[in-house]
């Protein structure tokens, strides 16, 4: 195997990131050592991203622009991985902020335990002005709360296949908080570039099938939430990719609980699409997705959307008004 020249390769996929990437690059460069490198992969931006990046270029900072926009982050991430010379890969979003010590801490954990496939850390949520609006984001997850009691030397190992079992319940891994061994990507594959979104979750699931993972109980980056956040895009746009990721897991479920958890998530995504189709006036698609949601996992939301689609939103809303008025009347008369 060819000897790698670097310790860590930080890969930033960027698309129309001119407004925030300057601050992001500065935060990364505050962390890298002489053994590290930063690769910025521009997904054919139409703004001034290249101009902003150019002032940072040097022996440790490389820039590569794709010839055409790929439509999602997977392709630029993979291009960066292919160009990377580091033993460890750190994927970092173009508008997030890296906190002091992130790379060193993650490298130390991975280096001390060769059986780990990846490590991930807690993070803060920041706004457009880089102000923290939510601390210790991962602490809201029940599983993370539970493993915090087993923290030793700032991290906790999640043995295989426990990580996979828990990821079926929720994706608690933030992309910018992850560091992966390059050799693990060579074995498990990189990001699925046919997915518009959910490519990161898909990779975490594949890695956690084969390797133990570790949680670092410290916020090591700021995750920016703004008006351009992909999480705010519509269910109809994002749902198909999410469902594809989840259905892949049903090809080889590790147990009945895992299968049921995956089916719940598939069902929820179909229900979300059904609701969006309903309010867009696409009744046939709303009915189809409601029924598919129910097929995977019977749930109140899908039944409600189905009823609203068949009966009509106006009728359902009118019945709700009558119901609420009746409740208020009963409260007044009971006093």
Instruction: Write out the residue range of the structural domain in which residue 148 sits.
Output: 6-232
Shared domain check, 285 and 257 = yes
- The pLDDT value recorded for residue 328 is 82
Residue 239 and residue 228 share a domain: no
d(CA 245, CA 205): 9
CATH code, domain with 278 = 1.25.40
Residue where a domain stops, chosen among 185, 217, 232: 232
What per-residue confidence (pLDDT) applies to 64?
98
Q: For the chain, how many structural domains are there in total?
A: 2
In a shared domain, residues 270 and 134: no
Residues of the chain with pLDDT under 50: 1, 227, 229-232
Q: Whole-prediction pTM value? A: 0.89
Same structural domain for residues 210 and 268?
Answer: no
Predicted confidence at residue 77, as pLDDT, reads 98
The per-type count for the chain, helices as H runs and strands as E runs, is 13, 10
Residues 257 and 227 in one domain: no
- The CB density around residue 193, as the number of other CB atoms within 10 Å, is 17
DSSP string, 180-234: EEHHHHHHH----TT-SS-HHHHHHHHHHHHSEEEEEEEEEEEEE--TT-GGGS-
Picking from 213, 232, 251, the residue at the C-terminal end of a domain is: 232
Q: Tens of pLDDT along 144-156?
A: 999 988 788 899 9
Q: Are residues 92 and 202 in the same domain?
A: yes
Rounded distance between C-alpha atoms, residue 64 and residue 291, angstroms: 45
Question: Which of left, alpha, beta for 145 (phi over 0: left; psi -120 to 50: alpha)?
Answer: alpha
* 154/252 same-domain check: no
What is the pLDDT, as a whole number, of residue 5? 78
CA 158 – CA 113 distance, rounded (Å): 12
């Amino acid at each position: 195997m060819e000897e790698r020249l670097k310790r860590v390769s930080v890969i930033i996929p960027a698309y129309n990131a001119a407004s925030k990437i300057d601050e992001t690059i500065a935060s990364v460069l505050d962390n890298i050592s002489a053994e590290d490198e930063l690769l910025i992969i521009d997904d054919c931006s139409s703004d001034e991203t290249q101009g902003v990046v150019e002032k940072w270029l040097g022996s440790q900072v490389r820039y590569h622009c794709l010839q055409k926009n790929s439509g999602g982050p997977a392709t630029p991430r993979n291009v960066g991985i292919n160009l990377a010379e580091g033993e460890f890969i750190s994927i970092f979003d173009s508008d997030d902020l890296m906190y002091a010590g992130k790379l060193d801490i993650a490298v130390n954990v991975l280096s001390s335990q060769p059986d780990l496939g990846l490590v991930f850390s807690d993070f803060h949520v920041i706004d457009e002005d880089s102000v923290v609006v939510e601390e210790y984001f991962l602490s809201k997850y029940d599983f993370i709360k539970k493993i915090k009691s087993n923290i030793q030397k700032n991290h906790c190992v999640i043995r295989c296949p426990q990580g996979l079992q828990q990821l079926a319940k929720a994706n608690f891994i933030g992309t910018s908080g992850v560091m992966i061994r390059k050799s693990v990507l060579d074995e498990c594959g990189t990001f699925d570039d046919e997915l518009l979104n959910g490519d990161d979750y898909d990779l975490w699931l594949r890695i956690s099938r084969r390797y133990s993972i570790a949680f670092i109980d410290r916020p090591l980056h700021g995750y920016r939430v703004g008006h351009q956040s992909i999480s705010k895009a519509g269910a109809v746009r994002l749902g198909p990719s999410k469902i594809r990721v989840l259905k892949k897991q049903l090809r080889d479920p590790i147990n009945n609980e895992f299968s049921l958890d995956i089916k719940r998530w598939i069902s929820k995504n179909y229900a979300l699409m059904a609701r969006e189709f309903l309010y867009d006036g696409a009744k046939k698609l709303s009915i189809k997705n409601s029924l598919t949601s129910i097929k995977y996992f019977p749930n109140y939301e899908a039944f409600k959307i189905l009823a609203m689609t068949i009966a009509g939103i106006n009728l359902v809303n009118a019945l709700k008004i009558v119901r609420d008025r009746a409740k208020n009347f009963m409260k007044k008369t009971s006093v």
